[in-house]
Amino acid sequence: MPFAFKTVPHIVFETGAAARLGEIVSGRMKRPIVVTDRFLLDAGLVAPALKSLEAAGMTPTVYSDCAADPPAPVVRKAVAAAKEAKADGIIGLGGGSSMDTAKVVAILMNSGQTLEDVYGMDKVAGPRPPMVMIPTTAGTGSEVTNISVVTTEDDQKIGILADQLYADIAILDASLTLGLPRETTAATGIDAMVHAIEAFTSKVKKNPVSDALAKEALRLLAGNIVKACTARDDLAAREAMLLGAMLAGQAFSNAPVAAVHAMAYPIGALFHVPHGLSNSLMLAPVLKFNAEAAAPLYAELAGVVAPEAKGSDAARAKAFIEKITATCKATGVKQRLSDVHISHNDLPRMAEDVMKIERLLRNNPRPMTYDDALRLYQEVL
Ligand SMILES: [Zn+2]
């Protein structure tokens, strides 16, 4: 089977690397804009990176108003800030929302295109300034993907997919993730596990490279997530999570995600539940929904997370689902939609919105109807 695989050309995986950011990006930019959020800025996580840019002779500016599920107006404001600063390089420093915002800033700041012009696949015209991504969560993998997801004014989550969204450099510094609260560590880590699982079972563009990455990602993530949640300063566990999340990002950027994400989107868009938590809420029901159609693939993944499982594909697929569900539960993550204030009356609208996300549903191992979506939401209410 012919296939293509793309990723970021330059990856620096080094604890402490953010403090030598200036050295790493030197020669690529003079007036970088660092796109981040208020929390990280106030927590002092941005300061060492800024200091190193200055020490390397650069004049950085900061945009720190990034918000979760990047709302379109916030993204437009970030683009305007970069123009105003006459930035010649973009540094996304933060979780998925900051990095997704930074990527859109890079593709729009020097082009005549509007945000609406680039919604969808391959709509980005022309080149962009140099772009560097530095994740502070082990989850999204956005540092190595060609995707940004924006929340529109009418509460839909829209993807922007284009090669220009691959960063020039991804810098992975696990020390930035040490202070993450347990709840965020759990939710973002489970999101990364979903990326690995959905890439491995994707009906579209799944290939030997994405498969290898997905398996190793899942081994690292499932093997370390509980440790990272319970011992917050365990650097080895944090490094394994950050590496796993990146490998999962490389996998799903090429073999796209499916129904867990499609069902998570309305939870984020309508109720402002963080992306990682939205995904972790829907993981178990969708795994069970897919169990029969994806049995041989889930059985293969059982070899990674539950090697003791024996027997038929169906038996090992069941062991895989049980192991993943138990691991998620052990992190202490919320389990029910009602825990995030979603009620019975909300479910039909959510299921309707799922049906609009054909871009993701078509990757799912089993077709999903409106009735299926409604039933799965009811199951975890
Ligand atoms: Zn995700």
Over residues 4-19, the pLDDT tens digits come to: 999 999 999 999 999 9
How high is the pLDDT of residue 297?
A: 98
Whether residue 80 has pLDDT greater than 90: yes
Å from CA of 253 to ligand 1 middle: 11
Band (305; pLDDT cuts 50, 70, 90): very high
Å from CA of 277 to ligand 1 middle: 10
Å from CA of 63 to ligand 1 middle: 24
- Which DSSP string do the residues of 131-190 spell out, in sequence order? EEEEESSSS--GGG-SEEEEE-TTS-EEEEE-GGGS-SEEEE-GGGGTT--HHHHHHHHH
How high is the pLDDT of residue 158?
A: 92
The average pLDDT across 316-338 equals 97
Which tokens is 90 given? 């973009």
313 backbone dihedrals φ, ψ, rounded to 5° = -55, -45
How high is the pLDDT of residue 199?
A: 98
AA letter at 248:
A
Å from CA of 276 to ligand 1 middle: 6
What are the residues facing 61 on neighbouring strands?
Answer: 33
Whether residue 103 has pLDDT greater than 90: yes
| Beta strand residue intervals within the chain, DSSP E | 11-13, 32-35, 61-63, 89-94, 120-121, 131-135, 147-151, 157-161, 169-172
Å from CA of 346 to ligand 1 middle: 22
Å from CA of 279 to ligand 1 middle: 7
What does the pLDDT look like over 147-168, one tens digit per residue? 999 999 988 889 999 999 999 9
Average pLDDT over the chain, rounded to an integer? 96
Å from CA of 127 to ligand 1 middle: 26
Of all residues in the chain, what percent carry a pLDDT higher than 70?
A: 100
Whether residue 24 has pLDDT greater than 90: yes
Which tokens is 123 given? 């709509």
The average pLDDT across 326-350 equals 97
Q: For 55-64, 65-74, 148-157, 372-381, which range has the lowest pLDDT when averaged over its residues? A: 148-157
How high is the pLDDT of residue 157?
A: 85
What does the pLDDT look like over 246-304, one tens digit per residue? 999 999 999 999 999 999 999 998 998 999 999 999 999 999 999 999 999 999 999 99
Whether residue 36 has pLDDT greater than 90: yes
Whether residue 322 has pLDDT greater than 90: yes
Which residues lie near ion ligand 1 (Cβ < 5 Å)?
191
